Amino acid sequence: MGTEIERKFLLRDDSWRSRVSSRTLYRQAYLHFMEREHGVFRVRIAGGKGYLTLKGALHGCSRDEYEYEIPVTDANELIDNFCAGPSVEKYRNIVMNGSDRWEIDEFLGENSGLVLAELELESESAFFERPSWLGMEVTGDMKYSNSHLAGNPYRTWKTSG
């Protein structure tokens, strides 16, 4: 079993942009065979590859995670024919800060305007250096989860409260 330990943050400014080492377009959607509080089943296309991922319930900043590569044609068909709700599209930017590999997601479409930074850690108590561009932590705030954004896009937050 895999475990994902991840911290998630809003960004203070755009100064991270000059340090991007790679940028990949992601398209993902969710199969809602279980309640979100128990986990999600995701289909993702990134960098010309397809993936199926099962993520368990979040406990602090950790959760069980299983991910498997699948043919990209299968991933497209699953997203188009089996996933509930719209897909989430974003650019994932990789930014190194010391030895820390930050993933900065710039959301597109109905989630345009939202930018989040994520850092995967070896343990929940692992030390990491906070870059100057890092803003408020939103780890555990499910409204910032991609599965929530699929059904409750960022652009609607201003109108729905």
Note whether 61 and 7 are within 8 A (CB).
Answer: yes
Q: How confident is the model at residue 129 (pLDDT cuts 50, 70, 90)?
A: very high
* Residue 49 or 161, more confident: 49
Q: Which residue has the tokens 């010309």?
A: 48
Specify the amino acid at residue 90: K
Going by C-beta distance under 8 Å and a sequence separation of 6 or more, which residues neighbour residue 121? 5, 6, 7, 61, 128
CB-CB neighbours of 127 under 10 Å: 7
| Active-site annotation holds for 144 | no
Domains in the chain, please, with CATH?
A: 2-160 (2.40.320.10)
Mean pLDDT of 82-94: 90
CA 75 to centroid of chain Cα atoms: 17
Mean pLDDT of 18-23: 97
pLDDT at residue 40 in the model: 85
pLDDT at residue 108 in the model: 97
Instruction: Please determine, for residue 19, whether its predicted confidence score (pLDDT) is greater than 80.
Output: yes
Digit-coded pLDDT (tens) for 25-62: 999 998 865 555 678 889 999 999 999 999 888 888 88
Residues 26, 30, 51, 144: which is the catalytic one?
Answer: 30
Q: What percent of the chain has pLDDT over 90?
A: 72
pLDDT at residue 151 in the model: 87
